[in-house]
Amino acid sequence: MVSQAITKYPSDTSNISVIPFAINHLWVRDTGPVYVRGVGKSIKQRFAIKFQFSEWGKKYDIGRHDRVSDRFDWPVMTPEQIEENGSFARRVIQSDVTPSPVTLVESQICLEGGALVVDGEGTLLATESSVINENRNPGLSKIAIEAELHRLLGVEKVIWFPGRKDLDVTDVHADAEVNFVRPGVVVLSRPHSSVPRSWVEVYEEIRDTLGQSVDAKGRPFEVHIVDEPNPQVFGVLSSNDPATNYVNFYFVNGGLILPQFGDIRRDQEALVLFQKLCPDRIVRPVFVSALPLAGGVIHCATQPVLSNE
């Protein structure tokens, strides 16, 4: 596919690098490094954080947990494969040498990139269930975890949502519920009426918290609701809980890649909303079918790499 893209867009070949890695998950948002900018004299340096990855807190308990919405079991992985997943972020950083080497920043906190939703101006949104959880960070208080997030990410304010432990494999990642379009403006995913009540409660808690909060700059949030599609577009599943939300989009230079699921009405409503909210970007709708059944969408399967420009 990359070769085809190079042929179709030959002027962009210098912008494409393929570095193959062995990995047991396609969820690079969670297993990959989180790139950050330096400050002061280090502003031109590239830094990337390696958070600890433990199979979403289930490293030692994989056998008891369902893997995806269609109730496939977790894959049986050897200790070597689990280590392969845990060391993925470090290997990416070591291999990323263009346009300049990347400085590894290792944290003892265990979390995944999908748990972090930031606005780039000091505000972080996260769920307590996916970070302040004994399955990931036993013995660490909210205060200690916040201090580490302030240090690593440069955030000034963390807004916590309760989330739900064990509601899904991630313990409810924030990037599946809410995302920034730009600082001060967020899109919030409203579950379809057919899904379990717990998901509606998660949505209501996030909506209410945002309505009562201000961001790191003191601005109230401008919240736009985007309705999720009917999960029945994927046919009869043993569990009606595929990952079907439009807020799991992905920003690229000058554009936004928006997932589409096959619910014509909801897909179109989401497209119109994002085109309205992002008039300076090309909003490109992309149909996805396998990703939602595996438990994520486009944002979950991508991780941006910071340049030094």
CA 158 → CA 12, 47, 53, 197, 267, distances in Å?
38, 21, 21, 27, 31
Q: pLDDT at position 136, please?
A: 97
69 confidence band (pLDDT: 50, 70, 90): very low
Among residues 308, 207, 227, which one has the least CA distance to residue 273?
A: 227
Q: pLDDT at position 294, please?
A: 86
Given a cut of 80, whether residue 201 has pLDDT beyond it is: yes
Distance from the Cα of residue 270 to its chain's centroid: 19
Q: Which of 300, 301, 302, 303 is catalytic?
A: 300
pLDDT tens readout for residues 101-113: 999 999 999 999 9
Residue 88 and residue 6 in contact, taking contact as beta carbons nearer than 8 Å: no
Mean pLDDT highest for which of 77-86, 95-104, 194-203, 239-248? 194-203
What rounded mean pLDDT belongs to the chain?
90
Given a cut of 80, whether residue 164 has pLDDT beyond it is: yes
Among residues 174, 181, 164, which one has the least CA distance to residue 125?
A: 174
Report the alpha-carbon distance of residue 249 to residue 63 in Å, rounded: 31
Residue 256 and residue 249 in contact, taking contact as beta carbons nearer than 8 Å: yes
Whether residue 278 lies in the annotated active site: no
To the nearest whole percent, how much of the chain has pLDDT over 90?
72
Choose the weakest-confidence range: 91-100, 159-168, 221-230.
Answer: 91-100
Given a cut of 60, whether residue 124 has pLDDT beyond it is: yes
Residue 186 and residue 210 in contact, taking contact as beta carbons nearer than 8 Å: yes
Given a cut of 80, whether residue 76 has pLDDT beyond it is: no
DSSP structure string for 28-58? HHHHS-EEEE--GGGTTSEEEEEEE--TTTT
- Compute φ and ψ for 278, nearest 5 degrees: -125, 65
DSSP structure string for 224-235? EEEEPPPGGGG-
Q: pLDDT at position 102, please?
A: 94
- Compute φ and ψ for 249, nearest 5 degrees: -85, 180
What is the rounded average pLDDT of the residues 182-211? 97
Q: pLDDT at position 63, please?
A: 60
The β-bridge partners of 284 are 257
Given a cut of 90, whether residue 156 has pLDDT beyond it is: yes
Report the alpha-carbon distance of residue 79 to residue 74 in Å, rounded: 14
User: Between 18 and 253, whose confidence is greater?
Assistant: 253
CATH number for 28-301: choose from 3.75.10.10, 3.30.559.10, 3.60.10.10, 1.20.120.1200: 3.75.10.10
Domain boundaries, the chain: 28-301
What is the rounded average pLDDT of the residues 59-69? 59
